[in-house]
């Protein structure tokens, strides 16, 4: 098959030069840099959305059709003003799945006079980027037209691939619109990130999802042609269980509508609550081990333990485990927490945490959730003290400030006669030789005499330790006064 090219003048060509749109019919696999290759049959299929999923059929085509994200595209919002003025900066669209990143990019393509090119970082590489850059240079030189590159899943590009974009974004050859579900602070090169605005898309609220689902029932592009209705209960259930994901909500509604259609005999098919529950029964919890959600849930878990809320602690622990987090991650956090936030206020806490870790490793999942739940609830209700952490931090501060201070001679080891003759261990008093197995003494280096690092709290078992420390301090002070008088 020989390639066929069709040429036509562009009605919206800018002053100073004619622009041509090129339609090229090519054999499969044929490429020609700088030429837009279009398969007429594929293009016709893309225009016919009758067989497309509901979420694709209902994809907004204007800013006003976008549900949610009012802080970005609502009246007077910053991104809406930039789009309407056709002054779109390079940007990163960051948000959870189903919040409208790709939709926003497509709407942007309809509004801008820039040439719009889309790539997916999953399948594209540096070669495709270079081809687009070359086309952008030609377009800029010949027609004074900008090129807007939409790069979906930009976090899939490695450092070298992201570096390939940097000079062209910096010079303005490309306006980059990257979309990602991952935190760009971690996944996008700092140099590239500094040249882009980051716009955060939020998970959709339940009221927004309900409005979207009702639109799907009445919109001719949606289910209106099939006469599908849905109960308020079913709509509310899907909106609540979709986790702010519009695509997930529409997929669930389409599945539920299919169930209703299959059993409808007379009258309009109606989606009931049971249909919605069936459509969502395989729902997987969103979780990104190593990503932002991972750290958010771990932080919420520790803060709930510290705040003595066993209900929240167990909830966040289950969120992590059901999301696929290894139980060892949870148990290690509990062991650290027991020492850092409970300490001597309840010395059983550390044993409970270690026992839970060992029991979890012994029995494995899913039974490991039982000792983990026991430990989480125990740690949450245990008396709290961070005195051990504060003691370490204060002592470390002095170590770093004062350096390697000499150990007092009486405390040094004297394994040889030479060291003993130099005064090592001289004057050391062995506490077990004295009443109560205690003798008042100063053990810190002379420059730190009187320093206090461990300050027990009044909570739990530590109150007993606080009283004991106060008693020892009184005995030491009395001995110091006696020594001063002599």
**pLDDT tens-digit series, residues 286-296:** 666 666 778 89
The two three-digit tokens of residue 379, written as one number: 């740690």
Q: Which comes out higher in pLDDT, residue 49 or 202?
A: 202
Report pLDDT for 13.
Answer: 41
Model confidence pLDDT, tens digit, residues 276-328 = 988 987 555 666 666 677 889 999 999 999 999 999 999 999 999 987 788 99
Asked if the model's pLDDT at residue 25 lies above 80, the reply is: no
**How, if at all, do strands 20-25 and 4-9 pair?**
antiparallel
| pLDDT score for 286 | 62
Listed range (1-5, 86-90, 277-281, 353-357) with the worst mean pLDDT: 1-5
What is the model's pLDDT at position 47?
Answer: 56
pLDDT tens per residue across span 205-245: 999 999 999 999 999 999 988 889 999 999 999 998 888 89
pLDDT of residue 266: 67
Residue percentage of the chain with pLDDT more than 70: 87
- Angle (CA) 62-65-68 rounded to 5° is 120
Burial 410-427 (b: 16+ CB within 10 A, else e): bebebeeeeeeeeebeee
- Of the pLDDT bands very low, low, confident and very high (cuts 50, 70, 90), residue 380 is very high
Q: Check residues 27 and 260 and name the one with the higher pLDDT.
A: 260
Mean pLDDT of 145-168: 91
Three-class SS of the chain: CCCEEEEEECCCCCCCCCCEEEEEECCCCCCCCCCCECCHHHHHHHHCCCCCCHHHHCCCCCHHHCCCCHHHHCCCCHHHHHHHCCCCCCEEEECCCCCCHHHHHHHHHHHCCCEEEEEECCCCCHHHHHHHHHHHHHHHHHHCCCEEEEEECHHHCCHHHHHHHHHHHHHCCCEEEEEECCCHHHHCCHHHHCCCEEEECCCCCHHHHHHHHHHHHHCCCCCHHHCCEECHHHHHHHHHHCCCCHHHHHHHHHHHHHHHHHHCCCCCCEECHHHHHHHCCCCCCCCCCCCHHHHHHHHHHHHHHHCCCHHHHHHHHHHHHHCCCCHHHHHHHHHHHHHHHHHHHCCHHHHHHHHHHHHHHHHCCCCCHHHHHHHHHHHHHCCCCCHHHHHHHHHHHHHHHHCCCCCCHHHCCCCCHHHHHCCCCCCCCCHHHCHHHCCCCCCCCHHHCCCCCCCCCCCCCHHHHHHHHHHHHHHHHHHHHHHHHC
For the segment 103-107, the average pLDDT, to the nearest whole number, is 89
What pLDDT shows up at residue 30? Answer: 44
All domains of the chain in start order, with CATH: 1-48 (no CATH), 206-279 (1.10.8.60), 292-381 (1.20.272.10)
Q: Give the pLDDT mean for 4-14.
A: 42
Banded pLDDT at 2 (limits 50, 70, 90): very low
**Mean pLDDT, the chain, whole residue set:** 85
Chain centre distance of CA 28: 41
| pLDDT value of residue 144 | 87
Q: Rounded distance, CA 362 to CA 369, Å?
A: 12
pLDDT (average), residues 445-472: 93
Of 260-264, 279-283, 299-303, 386-390, the poorest mean pLDDT is in 279-283
Confidence of residue 445 (pLDDT cuts 50, 70, 90): very high
Give the model's pLDDT for residue 297: 92
What's the confidence (pLDDT) of residue 41?
40
Q: What is the pLDDT of residue 290?
A: 63
């Amino acid at each position: 098959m020989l390639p066929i090219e069709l040429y036509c003048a562009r009605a919206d060509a800018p002053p100073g030069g004619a622009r041509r749109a090129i339609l090229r019919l090519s054999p499969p696999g044929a490429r020609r840099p700088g030429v837009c290759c279009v398969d007429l049959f594929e293009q016709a299929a893309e225009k016919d959305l009758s067989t497309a999923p509901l979420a694709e059929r209902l994809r907004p085509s204007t800013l006003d059709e976008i549900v949610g994200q009012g802080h970005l595209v609502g009246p007077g919002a910053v991104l809406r003003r930039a789009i309407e003025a056709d002054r779109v900066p390079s940007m990163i669209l960051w948000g959870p799945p189903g919040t409208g990143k790709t939709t926003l990019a497509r709407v942007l393509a309809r509004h801008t006079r820039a040439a719009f090119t889309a790539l997916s970082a999953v399948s594209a590489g540096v070669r495709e980027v270079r081809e687009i850059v070359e086309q952008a240079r030609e377009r800029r030189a010949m027609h004074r037209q900008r090129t807007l590159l939409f790069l979906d899943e930009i976090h899939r590009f490695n450092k070298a691939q992201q570096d390939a974009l940097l000079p062209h974004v910096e010079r303005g050859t490309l306006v980059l619109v990257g979309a990602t579900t991952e935190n760009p602070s971690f996944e996008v090169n700092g140099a590239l990130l500094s040249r882009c605005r980051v716009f955060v898309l939020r998970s959709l609220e339940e009221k927004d999802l309900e409005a979207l689902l009702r639109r799907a029932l009445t919109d001719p592009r949606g289910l209106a042609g099939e006469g599908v209705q849905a109960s308020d209960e079913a709509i509310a259930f899907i909106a609540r269980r979709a986790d702010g994901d519009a695509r997930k909500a529409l997929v669930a509604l389409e599945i539920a509508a299919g169930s209703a259609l299959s059993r409808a005999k007379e009258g309009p098919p109606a989606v009931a609550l049971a249909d919605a529950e069936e459509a969502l029964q395989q729902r997987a919890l969103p979780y990104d081990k190593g990503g932002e959600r991972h750290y958010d849930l771990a932080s919420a878990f520790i803060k709930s333990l510290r705040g003595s809320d066993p209900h929240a602690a167990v909830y966040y622990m289950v969120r992590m485990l059901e999301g696929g987090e290894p139980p060892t991650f949870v148990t290690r956090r509990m062991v650290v927490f027991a020492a850092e936030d409970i300490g001597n206020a309840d010395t059983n806490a550390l044993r409970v945490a270690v026992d839970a870790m060992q029991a979890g490793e012994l029995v494995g999942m899913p039974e490991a959730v039982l000792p983990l739940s026991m430990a989480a609830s125990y740690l949450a209700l245990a008396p709290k003290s961070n005195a051990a952490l504060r003691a370490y931090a204060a002592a470390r501060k002095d170590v770093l400030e004062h350096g390697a201070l000499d150990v007092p001679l009486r405390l040094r080891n004297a394994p040889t006669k030479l060291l003993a003759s130099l005064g090592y261990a001289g004057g050391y008093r062995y506490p077990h030789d004295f009443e109560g197995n205690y003798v008042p003494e100063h053990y810190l280096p002379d420059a730190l005499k009187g320093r206090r690092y461990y300050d027990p709290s009044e909570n739990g078992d530590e109150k007993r330790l606080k009283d004991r420390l106060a008693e020892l301090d009184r005995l030491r002070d009395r001995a110091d006064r006696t020594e001063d008088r002599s």
